[in-house]
């Protein structure tokens, strides 16, 4: 995997990781978790939109894979934290 692919995977992973964690925090009304996750979700979204919009099919697959793993691990870790 190329360095650019790893960065794209990583930002997609982190964004959806935070969405999963934020969903968990929202369901438990954990204000600090909601605030932190909400900020970073939006920040990463601005980065990811540009990368995927101008990317090719491989970029989209890498992004979707990162998002998938981010969702799974986000729920797991936020459950462990709470």
Give 9's Cβ-side CA count (13 Å radius). 11
Position 41 scores a pLDDT of: 93
Q: How far apart are CA 18 and CA 41, in angstroms?
A: 6
> Radius of gyration of the chain from Cα atoms?
13
- CA nearest to 79, candidates 39, 23, 14: 23
Phi-psi region of 56 (alpha: psi -120 to 50; beta: other; left: phi over 0): beta
Q: What is the pTM of this model?
A: 0.75
Position 47 scores a pLDDT of: 85
Phi, psi of 28 (to 5 degrees): -110, 10
- The tens-digit pLDDT sequence of the chain (82 residues) is 789 889 989 998 999 999 988 998 899 998 999 999 999 999 888 888 887 788 888 988 998 898 889 888 988 887 887 6
């Amino acid at each position: 995997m190329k360095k650019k692919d790893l960065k794209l995977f990583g930002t997609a992973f982190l964004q959806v990781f935070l969405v999963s964690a934020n969903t968990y925090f929202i369901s438990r009304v954990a204000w600090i978790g909601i605030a932190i996750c909400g900020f970073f979700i939006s920040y990463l979204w601005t980065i990811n939109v540009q990368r995927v919009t101008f990317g090719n099919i491989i970029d989209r697959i890498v992004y979707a894979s990162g998002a998938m793993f981010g969702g799974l691990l986000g729920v797991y870790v936020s459950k462990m934290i709470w």
